[in-house]
Amino acid sequence: MKNKAFIIMWVLVFSAVFLIMFSGLVVFFSFQSNQNQRIKAENMAFHIAEAGINYSQWRLAHSSGDFNFSGVYDYKDPEGSIIGQYDLNIASSTACDTGVKIEAKGWKEGRADIQRKIKIKYAKPSLAKYGFLTNSNVWFGEDEELKGPFHSNGGIRMDGEQNSLSTSYKEIYICGEEHDCSIENCSDPCAWTAQGCLCPGIWGIGKGEEKGLWQFPVGIVDFDKIIQNLDTLKTEAQTRGIYLSSSGDYGYHLKFKPNGTFDVYKVKTLYPAVDGYDGQAWTYESNDIKTEAFYQNFIVPSNCAPVFVEDNIWVEGDVKGRTTVVAAKLPEMPASLKKIVISNNINYADFNSVLGLISQKDILIPLRSPNNLEIKAALLAQKGHVFRYYYPKRNYDPYKTYAIRDYIETFGSIITNTIWTFTWVDGLGNVVSGYKETEMSYNKDLTYNPPPYFPVSGDYEVVSWEEVN
């Protein structure tokens, strides 16, 4: 009897142990199965969120101005069965930020409790991606240094230093006197023909070719497409920003201040006119302020709306904020196109600040410019050029003192429709007018985050990508 009871006891013990182990295994495998299902659902949710991003990119590529497609969409397999959903949230571009922000949440059908979220910023590159962009032939001298990519729709004579790619639309071009070419001065790689001195699209004594930095021919940059709609900018300034009508004098002087404001002065008188050569003809004019009168202090618009001035303007100072200043007279007439004169240094008060200058015609450096000049801005001369006239070095003032200056540095972008230069040299390469040394650097941050209302081109590109919780 005792043996029977002993056996029953052990049977019960082993049965209990077995049940405990079996229950544990059941729980373990059940947990493992749930985990596997959850992992599969998470992976599926991620792929569905990616599909939402891909759909958004496709939508914008085929209808770039349509941002009104936020909402929940079904995600189907190749047979047409619904296997999940994605929820899109589209934040369109603004004056302060040209990028489009896309957020996509995805989940598997029946598992809305398990979601993955992807966020991207999508933007078209601005033309400020170029350190220098011109619609005409250009010559960079031995004392000129370019940092950043640059492009010309004409030919490039490159005798200076560069650290990035230079491109030209031209395979060959006629090199004229503006590049010191003539029948007496047209040697290899150029050749004299019945048309004149025929040169490669890019040539010169610079070291860019051996570094693989010369590329030509490439596609043209259409300047007709980059000319901003000035009527729109004027309306934006009148409704959201700052608008100044004609001064009744010579124009306005804008002095930016590091506190996020700028003082505006009316230019009352200019120094006497001087002789200058604009690349095509001699001029007799003055671009230097002699007297001015305070007009008003303005706050840089926090909404990035433009400052639109229907007069000539002079600009200088320390910029705090993101703004674009426009000089233009509307309706547009060739005889009344407005210009911008950079009369002194332009700097940024902090790393988040940026300035765009858009001129209906020219952006000029005047005769009485500082000996050392620093310009931090993106410059766009729509129908003219970014330029310092050739002022002859005469033995009396103001030519004697101001015709030749020492050093100019730009940081940002220069976009000029017609011929550009800050420096004039003779046939031996000696500086005879303008700045002896030029350094031009591009601000890479302006590629996808340009000054407000600056022109963009090309297709949308992914600027940033992240998965968020």
**Residue 131 and residue 37 share a domain:** no
| pLDDT at 402 (0 to 100) | 97
**Residue 454 counted as domain residue:** no
Q: Which two tokens stand for residue 76?
A: 């189907």
Nearest 10 degrees: Cα torsion 3, 7, 10, 14: 170
**Residue 166 and residue 113 share a domain:** no
User: What is the CA angle 9-14-15, rounded to 5?
Assistant: 95
**Residue 266 and residue 228 share a domain:** yes
**Residue 453 counted as domain residue:** no
**Residue 42 counted as domain residue:** yes
**Residue 133 and residue 117 share a domain:** no
CA distance 413 to 457: 15
CA distance 285 to 57: 52
**Residue 411 counted as domain residue:** yes
| pLDDT at 63 (0 to 100) | 78
- Which phi-psi region, left, alpha or beta, contains residue 76 (left: φ > 0; alpha: ψ -120 to 50)? beta
**Residue 197 and residue 82 share a domain:** no
The residue ranges of the chain whose pLDDT is under 50 are none
| pLDDT at 222 (0 to 100) | 85
**Residue 316 and residue 275 share a domain:** yes
Summarize pLDDT for 365-403 with one digit per residue, the tens. 999 999 999 999 999 999 999 999 999 999 999 999 999
* Residues 6+ positions from 137 with CB-CB distance below 8 Å: 152, 154, 155, 156, 157, 173, 175, 176, 178, 179, 419
**Residue 455 counted as domain residue:** no
Q: What's phi and psi for 377, nearest 5 deg?
A: 180, 165
**Residue 428 counted as domain residue:** yes
**Residue 325 counted as domain residue:** yes
Place of tokens 């209302």: 453
**Residue 300 counted as domain residue:** yes
pTM, 2 dp:
0.84
**Residue 371 and residue 264 share a domain:** yes
**Residue 119 and residue 131 share a domain:** no
Place of tokens 């070419």: 181
DSSP states of 300-321 as a string? Answer: PPTT---EEESS-EEEEEEE-S
Q: Which domain holds residue 411?
A: 127-446
| pLDDT at 133 (0 to 100) | 92
**Residue 289 and residue 197 share a domain:** yes
Please count the structural domains in the chain. Answer: 2
| pLDDT at 14 (0 to 100) | 63
| pLDDT at 456 (0 to 100) | 83
Q: How distant is the alpha carbon of residue 375 from its chain centre? A: 16
Amino acid at 113: D
CA distance 68 to 66: 6
**Residue 188 and residue 82 share a domain:** no
**Residue 102 and residue 75 share a domain:** yes
CA distance 384 to 388: 12
**Residue 384 and residue 300 share a domain:** yes
